[in-house]
Amino acid sequence: MSLPKAGSMSWFDLRAKDTSVLKKFYTELLSWEYESFGDGYDLINLDGESIGGMCAMHDDIIYGNSTVLYLTVDELNPAIEKLKSLNAELLSERIDISDDHGCFINFKDPAGNYMALWASK
C-alpha cells in the first residue's frame, strides 16, 4: 500500500463512551470489521485494510467525543514548527507509534476542530 499524499487525510479516529454501539452501527452501514490494538483502541478494517480507529473514551482523552482527522505531512518535526508559527494550539507532544505506524501530533485549528498531523517518520 502506498502512503497517502502530503496534505491529504490519512486516518480518522472515532470516539465514544460505548464503542459497541458505534461498532454495530458502522458494521451494518459499511461492513467495517474491528481489530483490537490495545488499551481500548480498535483498528477499523475494510476489505482487510486498516482505514481508521475507534477509541473508548477515557477521562484523559483530550478531544472528548470528537472525531479526529489525521492529515499527512512528509516529515512531522518541520510541520510541528509550522503549527507553532501559525499559533495553533498543540494538544500533545510528538507521539511515535512504532516504526511501522509512523508518528503524529494533535492540535486544534483556528475554528476549534480537533486535528492531527501524521507522518511516516
Give me the domains of the chain, ranges plus CATH numbers: 9-119 (3.10.180.10)
How does pLDDT run across 67-94, given as a tens digit for each residue?
889 999 999 999 999 999 999 999 999 9
Q: pTM, whole model, 2 decimals?
A: 0.82
Listing DSSP states for 23-80 in one string gives HHHHHHHH--EEEEEETTEEEEEETTEEEEEEEE--TT-TTTT--EEEEE-S-HHHHH
- State the chain's maximal CA–CA distance in angstroms: 43
